């Protein structure tokens, strides 16, 4: 497929099935669609870049999404625009400390200060277009 060249640079993708590509591609299409709607709402402005906030618990692989974005935007008014991804760290609420704590590993949901297990995720599931760079 013509899609393949976009992904061969990422060894991560090769080790995973073609499922992953479709998943990130459909997310990329949603981003393009959303940005287009926002650009139209602002009078059809041209978008240079889309800023995305992405949490590790969103279920989206950053590299695959970046690779899919070019594909998704090609042939649309968003063609040539850049996708800029800001990683959002996982923040949990620790009931023991009664405070928000930064999680260091997605494999261990425990307070880094007191080691209390906590599943109360405050941040980390974000998959959000938070800004557009537009030309005026």
Partner 1 sequence: MSSESDVSRPVAVLVPRLVEVRQNVLKHNDVVARALRERFRQGGVFVVSLVSSPGSGKTTLLEKTLILLRPRYRVAALVGDLATENDALRLARSQAPVKQITTGTLCHLEAAMIENAIQGWDVGPLDFLFIENVGNLVCPSSYDLGENLRLVLISVTEGEDKPLKYPTIFNSADVAVITKMDLATAAEFDSTAADRNIQAVRPGMRILRVSAKTNEGMSEWLQFLASLRDSPQARPGGSGGPPREADS
Q: Which residues bind partner 1 (CB under 8 A)?
A: 16, 18-20, 22-23, 26-27, 30-31, 34-35, 38, 42, 48-49, 51-52, 56-60, 106-110, 117-121, 125, 127-136
Smaller CB separation from partner 1, 8 or 130:
130
- Considering the complex, what minimum distance in angstroms separates the CB of residue 74 from partner 1? 19
Residue 9 CB-density burial (10 A; 0-12 exposed, 13-18 middle, 19+ buried)? exposed
Smaller CB separation from partner 1, 9 or 42:
42
- The 8 Å CB, 24+ separation contacts for 102-107 are 106/56, 106/57
* Distances in whole angstroms, Cα of residue 99 to Cα of each of 20, 103, 122, 130: 36, 12, 11, 26
CA 72 to chain centre: 14
- Considering the complex, what minimum distance in angstroms separates the CB of residue 104 from partner 1? 13
- Considering the complex, what minimum distance in angstroms separates the CB of residue 5 from partner 1? 18
């Amino acid at each position: 497929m013509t899609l393949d060249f976009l992904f061969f640079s990422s060894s991560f993708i090769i080790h995973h099935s073609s499922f992953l590509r479709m998943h990130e591609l459909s997310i990329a299409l949603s981003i393009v669609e959303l940005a287009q709607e926002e650009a139209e709402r602002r009078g059809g402005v041209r978008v240079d870049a889309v800023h995305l906030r992405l949490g590790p618990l969103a279920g989206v692989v950053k590299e695959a999404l970046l690779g899919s974005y070019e594909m998704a935007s090609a042939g649309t008014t968003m063609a040539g625009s850049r996708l800029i991804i800001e990683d959002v760290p996982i923040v949990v609420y620790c009931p023991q400390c009664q405070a928000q704590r930064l999680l260091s590993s997605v494999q261990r949901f425990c307070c880094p200060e007191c080691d209390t297990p906590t599943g109360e995720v405050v941040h980390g599931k974000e998959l959000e277009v938070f800004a557009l760079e537009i030309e005026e």
